[in-house]
Amino acid sequence: MAVSSISAPEPSRRRLTRHPRILIGLAALAVLAVVGGGVGLWYILIGPPAPASVNAGPPAVPSNAAVAAPASLDGSWKVVDNIGSVDDATATFAGYRVQEQLAGVGGHTAVGRTPNVTGSMTLKGSVVSDVQITVDMTTIKSDDKFRDDELKAKGIETSTFPTATFKTTGPIDLGSLPSEGQTVTVNAGGELTLHGVTRPITMSLQARRVGGIIAVTGSTPINFADWSIQRPISFAVVSVDDHGTMEVHLLFTHA
């Protein structure tokens, strides 16, 4: 007597062989997962997170963050890291963005961010002063743990230089105090200490107040040689640009 169960898988095999593109597509995705040096497939398919810059729209404030406005906006404001989410770019974060070429994948934008940012600023009338920001570089995470581990001893060498700081070197005059919800664009001059090197920079920033939260976003180009940063190269990375971008999204509340 013939055993009918032996021939049961045949329809499934015939369906797969009639659709070779399905097999090719699955194989291609598997190859990408391997040669991408650990880069997540979700990242390759949907792309990196949107940049934090003055050209990316107004600074984000979490819709569910209800912080009442203080009686007076004058005084000290501090960076808070317990509001919003880094995943949807509504929380405080700082990080980098750099273009690289991956073996078998091609062009890829590497983005690393950390919510571990502290800092403060002083507001008096329409003048902002004494901005001081410190970033814990050891907690920066990207889409690739291998890259994050490499940067401990290469590139920005977070094991040797665990923090980066920015301090303004002069007041920032807004002209007039923006009303609630209004976005203002300014250039902030200051000193950036990165990789143990301190240099003057000008950062383009946008700020917006919603209730008792002031959201600030911005970026500045970073030429690696200016900060004595050697471009990290590995078996999975064909090349890395000699420059990148430092990005910040900061939420302040009245101290």
What pLDDT shows up at residue 238? Answer: 60
Structure tokens at 175: 């002209």
Answer whether 201's CB lies under 8 Å from 190's CB.
Answer: yes
Q: Which residues contact 173 (CB under 8 A, 6 or more apart)?
A: 126, 127
- Domain assignment of residue 12, yes or no: no
- Domain assignment of residue 31, yes or no: no
What pLDDT shows up at residue 54? Answer: 67
CATH number at residue 53: 2.40.128.110
Question: How distant is the alpha carbon of residue 82 from its chain centre?
Answer: 17
- Domain assignment of residue 113, yes or no: yes
Domain that holds residue 185: 48-254
Percent of the chain with pLDDT over 90: 56
31-61 residue pLDDT tens:
333 333 443 433 444 567 777 766 677 888 8
- Domain assignment of residue 7, yes or no: no
CA distances from residue 43 to 39, 53, 70, 99, 100 in whole angstroms, order as listed: 7, 21, 41, 14, 14
At 240 the three-state DSSP class reads strand
Domain count along the chain: 1
- Domain assignment of residue 38, yes or no: no
Structure tokens at 154: 């290469």
